[in-house]
Chains A and B, each alone.
Chain A
Amino acid sequence: MFMTLILLLDSTLRVATPLVLAAMAGLCSERGGVVDIGLEGKMLGAAFVSATVASMTGSPWLGLLTGIAASILLALVHGFASITHNGNQVVSGMAINIVVAGLAPTIGNAIFHMNGDTPALSNAARFTAIELPGAAALKSVPVLGPIYSELLSGHNLLTYLAFVLVPLISWMLYKTRFGLRLRAVGENPEAVDTAGISVQWLRYRAVMIAGVLCGFAGASLSTALGASFIRDMTAGKGYLALAAMIFGKWRPRTTLLACLLFAFTDAVQARLQGVSLPVVGEIPVQFIIMLPYVMTVFLLAGFVGRVVAPKADGEPYVKEH
């Protein structure tokens, strides 16, 4: 029972990696007042570019870098539409999702002729598991041993990065001058403008940070957790991340918890498949698959208390003259 729980939590951390990164991306963007439905597309784009470059060069690092670059590029498109031209931010995000869903397999097909997927990566071209020091030695220690060597050790670099980034982002948002301005521009852009600070430039930086984080998230999907790009491999993770962010009320720590909760449900659903439970018997696989989505709807339907979005979230800022 204890080992089952450890393994369940272990896969929770793995599944949570792209969710946490994408949710933090959404959080940075929306704290700055730009709604980001396009997390899904940015992740998918980064996953594709990372896997493509990693398979061509054999280097996961080059893959990661180019994936981030692709994601930033998409973020800039979103910024160009929603910050420079005051376009509808939901529409822009949706457009990016659809473009990437079509463009990635189109280019992939032109390069690899594998129906839009990329070839499987060798371990050298991936971010593989990292053994923490002493993991093997401590394995036999009761209770703490498995927690250290099974649960905490043996994840890939990007998983560790995701969890390190959360306190960093929290610090940036609440303890730095940039963070203060970022939050201000999401609440009251007029005040920021009056103080002589450029609303546009701040918001561009917010969406670019989101681009970088989505780049990490996408690379983690195709070069760390998986070993190739598969069409539509994000499978709604960008939307789940967005839901986690709302559920976490646009705060890093609570958003992290929400992501872990979603990831835990996902890990449970993967384990429940084909298992016969007492009383109810075997639950049909389709119902298990929809568990995270149903839970999202339930949670957002007001079991979280009052949710207050950043005041200027989604509002284009039009300067008065």
Chain B
Amino acid sequence: MSRQNKLPVWVNAGLIPLINLLAAFVVSALVILAVGENPFEAARHIIYGAFGFEEGIGYTLYYATNFIFTGLAVAMAFHCFLFNIGGEGQAYIGGLGIGLVCLYMGDMPFWVILPCAIVGGAVFGGLWAAIPAYLQAKRGSHIVITTIMFNFIASSIMTFLLVEWLKKPGSQLPETRHFADAAYMPKLHEIAHAMGIELAHSPVNISLVIALLCCVAVWIFIWRTRWGFEIRASGKNAEAAMYGGISPARSIMISMLISGALAGLVGLNELMGVQHRLVVNFTNGYGFVGIAIALMGRNHPLGIVLASLLMGALFQGGAELAFEMPTMTRDMVWTIQGLVILFTGALEHMFRPRIEAFFQKSDKSDSASCQGPEEQGDEA
């Protein structure tokens, strides 16, 4: 199918996702209306909460940091045509690695702890993804099912560890003691303060920079290295890749290891940046949001950054919304996210034929069309 190539890049990567996004928001507005609230007022609260003041922007960026990690993780697996729904569990187990480093290396300086924590999170997250990857590559068990199961298993294991082993002595809550000060991720407002600039206090921290570096690294890896090529090739067509001397099983392992490692880094932002201890359920659904991020961002690091900003704004704005309009709880944000996944992911082809027809008409260079009657006839 070559018809995708006929569209200019800005239409394909910009206009179509934007229209899909708009459709998701329209349906969300209808839901808000049905629940008996004013969608415009809700939108105003979300936008003000996310961008209206300095602290809000900081929170938006802090949420976006988590989403960049999980979005990159899902995209990494997508390039090998694997659907990694296990980002949630990988982030959780990765957080264990980060937490252990911070708890047991507390007397080291920050510049020793940070690389160790990165390695710890990446290794734990990567290995947690490696088991479903191995089962997919060697035993053919469906990675969607196994990664979902591994989310449940991770949740049980972490509750067990936090309740039985890692819990702070004398505490009833399933959480560890606080990390040593040296393991605190410097916040951006603290760094700015040291440089003589005053910013409002917010949890956004150095992890954001690490996340952005990961974006660059993933871009280089996917499009500029041999392994990246092998992963894309076996994702597109495993048999053809095999003829080319590429082992699909190896590609599955590599892409899932990296995918899990990226998800495992959520703890840098969440644990070292904000919680400063290992707590139960700190992943908070960020792994699932990664799916929406990867879909919206078309699996490209740049798109993922933009999509993460959008979702971060939705999360932070949603918190503000819940504060202003008590009926609009976190669940509403969850609904909007689901609709965004539906329209930008599953229904991505809904408006495409019409948009294509529009651009072909204005182009006139192309007379051949391979559109089916069902596509032309639908009233979207």
Contact = CB atoms under 8 A, between A and B. Distances in A.
B173 interface: no
Given A239-B149, A297-B135, A87 B327 contact: no
B71 interface: no
A106 B141 contact: no
Contacts of B372: 318-319, 321
14 contacts: A95-B339, A95-B341, A95-B345, A96-B342, A98-B337, A99-B339, A102-B334, A103-B31, A107-B35, A239-B148, A246-B145, A286-B156, A300-B135, A300-B142
Nearest to B32: A106
Contact of A105 (B153, B295, B331): B331
A200 interface: yes
Given A95-B342, A99-B338, A302-B140, A84 B378 contact: yes
B216 interface: no
Nearest to B152: A293
Contact of B346 (A82, A246, A287, A318): A82
B353 to A, nearest CB: 9
Chain B interface SS verdict (over half): helix
B55 interface: no
Main secondary structure of the interface of A (DSSP, over half): helix
A-B residue pairs, 5 tightest by C-beta: A102-B334, A99-B338, A92-B346, A98-B338, A102-B335
A228 B35 CA distance: 21
Contacts of A37: 144
Contacts of B139: 300-302
A192 interface: no
Given A286-B159, A321-B372, 6 more contacts: A90-B83, A98-B334, A106-B335, A236-B152, A296-B145, A297-B150
A286 to B, nearest CB: 4
Contacts of B34: 107
B160 interface: yes
Contacts of B142: 246, 300
B85 interface: yes
A106 B338 CA distance: 13
Nearest to A110: B35
Given A92-B342, A99-B342, A319-B372, A87 B159 contact: no
B9 to A, nearest CB: 22
A243 interface: yes
Interface string A293-315: 11011001110000100000000
A87 B295 CA distance: 12
B347 interface: yes
Contacts of B163: 286
B interface, size bucket: 35 or more
A297 B154 CA distance: 13
Contacts of B370: 321
A290 B153 contact: yes
B331 A109 contact: yes
Contacts of B363: none
A89 B349 CA distance: 13
Interface string B49-84: 000000000000000000000000000000000010
Contacts, number: 149
Contacts of A95: 338-339, 341-342, 345-346
Contact of B349 (A85, A97, A110, A243): A85
A86 B350 CA distance: 9
Interface of A: 37, 77, 80-82, 84-92, 94-103, 105-107, 109-110, 116, 200, 236, 239, 242-243, 246, 284, 286-287, 289-290, 293-294, 296-297, 300-302, 307, 318-319, 321
B199 interface: no
Contacts of B342: 77, 81, 92, 95-96, 99
Nearest to B340: A95
Contacts of A100: 338
Contacts of B241: none
Contacts of B333: 102
Contacts of A239: 145, 148-149
B374 A290 contact: no
A243 B150 CA distance: 13
B291 interface: yes
B196 interface: no
B332 interface: yes
Contacts of A98: 288, 334-335, 337-338, 341
A286 B160 contact: yes
B148 A236 contact: yes
A161 to B, nearest CB: 27
B22 interface: no
B255 interface: no
B191 interface: no
Interface in B287-342: 288, 291, 295, 327-329, 331-339, 341-342
Contacts of B346: 81-82, 85, 87-89, 91-92, 95
Given A110-B36, A297-B149, A302 B331 contact: no
Contacts of B156: 286-287, 289-290, 293
Given A95-B346, A109-B327, A302-B140, A200 B374 contact: yes
Contacts of B291: 91, 94
Contact of B140 (A110, A286, A307, A321): A307
A294 B55 CA distance: 43
A80 B152 CA distance: 30
A105 B329 contact: yes
B351 to A, nearest CB: 10
B164 interface: yes
Contacts of A88: 345-346
B146 interface: yes
Contacts of A99: 335, 338-339, 342
Contacts of A89: 346
A318 B83 CA distance: 22
